[in-house]
Each structure stands twice: as C-alpha cells, then as structure tokens.
Amino acid sequence: MLVKEAGAEVSPLAQGLDYYSIRSYVGLQRELGDRLGQYLLNITRYRSPVMPPAGPNATYVIAHGDYDMPPDFCLAVAEVFIARGLTPMLLGPDNREVAEALETAGIAHQVVGDIDKTGLDAATEIIRAARFGIYRVDANCSPDAFLALGIAIGLNRPWLLISREGALLPADVRGLSGLEFRSYAELSKQFPQRFSDFLERYG
C-alpha cells in the first residue's frame, strides 16, 4: 500500500498506481482502515507476472537520476564496461541526450521506456534480469532513481551507489557503501579501481 504526503512528487515510474495522499496523520488513522480492507482483498486476487530469470545476462542498469549532466555520468560509467560486452539499460524520465551521447561514442544501449510495457513493469523486469545496477543517489536526483534502487534491493539484485563528493544524500542511503567522485574524468578512472572486486564478480 502506497502513501505520500499531499504535496510530495510522485515518481514517473509510479504514475498510475493507486496511493493514499496524507493530509494529516489524524486523517490517515481514520481513513486508512477502509482502504486497508480493499487492499487486503486485492492481495488475495493478485497473480504475479511471469518474470525473466534473475540475472546475470549481458545487461546492467544505469539509473542516472536525471541530474547533474546525465550524459557525462552515463558515458563515464558505460565506457568501463565496453570491453566486457555489457549493454547499459537507461532508466530515467528523459534519456534523449544520454542516448545521443552513447550513440556518438558508439556504445550500444537500450532505453527502458522503449520497451512495450508500462514503465514500472519494464523497469522491474530489466532490474531483475540485469547483472547489476548503478544508481545515482544525490538528494536532488529524480525519484525514479530511488524507486529503481528500492526495486533492486527488494529483488536482491546487486547495486552500486554513486554520488558527487560532498553532495547531500537522502537519509535512507546514508551509511551505505558507495563511490563519491569530484569530476566525470575522475569517475571513469576511479570506478574500475574502486570496485574491481565487484566488477570481477558481476561485470
């Protein structure tokens, strides 16, 4: 069951899902009971979709968060995996510039929104089937990046967190292991060195 504060932004991936908008916690206590009964009834009718087998396959997810020059971020990450024959799956609300940058660099890729499914279903399927995911977690990133990370954690899929050095991070991801970078040139150099064990295992 999804709840959100009345003025909170809804992730584009979650558009169309039913949620309860909190106007006050007193109202939440009073009104959630009826919704909870309907929610429990729907659970008994739910049939989970057929999913592809969990990774690894030849893809990995990049959730760039539509923040801080996404083309530069995605190029710095994707260049590391060219020699490994892995295809980046771009997850974010706007991937036109990123796709153009990767095409110019000759890096084959796929955009999650190009798949003939709803955004959330497509993202879930791709995250599950990919070898791993790379998630930008600066606080100003789009909510899609954090929703995708939550899906990866829920599906027990490998993930790497990346943020700009000194950036504010949401409380939920503070303390988790991640890579901080000062520049995109530094990121492309740091990335394989810092996560060599991870890359050997999943890349």
Burial class (CB in 10 A: 0-12, 13-18, 19+), 88: buried
Q: Residue ranges of the domains in the chain? A: 2-45, 59-202
74 is written with which tokens?
């995605």
Indicate the pairing of strand 159-164 with strand 87-91.
Answer: unpaired
- pTM beyond 0.85: the answer is no
Q: What is the pLDDT of residue 52?
A: 66
First-to-last CA distance in the chain? 35
CATH among 2.40.50.100, 3.40.50.1220, 1.20.1250.20, 3.90.870.10 for 59-202: 3.40.50.1220
Give the tens place of pLDDT for each residue, 142-192: 989 999 999 999 999 999 999 999 999 999 898 888 999 999 999 998 888
